[in-house]
Structure 1
């Protein structure tokens, strides 16, 4: 009988966590869909072209970069691949974009999930952003240097 009580308590605790996560994820997914529908992501990207210059990306890469950061790795990858087809991005540009979203995809959604299970918001979001930006900058700088060396030959 004691085992049934343990299983029951575990199921109740698991259900509580799942409900907490659903209360975080569902509104966020609705907000993302509205942002896509009304073009808010494009507006943010246009106003953030300074961001792409820091990471040695073309200005047209702002939308794919922000999509990856905000809406997740799968959707962000789809946006990047679609933009790559339309804009004919170089391998270096694609590498930089995928490194960025690989480390720091879905920053708001996943951080909210961690906070939902009592993680520290500043530690989770801050660490992910700093690591993603540092590695993205370093890889961008390395690829830019490689491109410059190849052009001078």
Structure 2
């Protein structure tokens, strides 16, 4: 690991910053997803919520928000739109009415099949082989964990 002192003279230029490489790549990734998701009538954040629900159905808004590293207030309008589209239903908890459970509808479960080709399209758009993509993903997961650990100190 490089010491902070060794980075003292690191150039303070936009194209040399890790944060900008991640930010601009994230923007490009979202743009690549846009036409694929438009076919499903989903936004990128809605797609992420659906991915969570396809993994584990019947979660609370709080659980979905935690899985996506978002706050519950951000999730509520997104989930309302998914409900209006007929992909999910939101149900107040029986034991605790403050909790809202989100469940896939039949249309939401069927949408999963329509979305199956999206990851392949994105892998092809990357121009990398699958092993390189999997290594990059693993590196990014480690980076996120390290940064979260730093933040939580």
Q: Under a length normalisation based on structure 2, what TM-score does the superposition of the two structures give?
A: 0.33
Which protein has the bigger strand share?
2
Which protein is richer in helix relative to its size?
Answer: 1
Instruction: Compute the TM-score of the two structures, normalised by the length of structure 1.
Output: 0.33
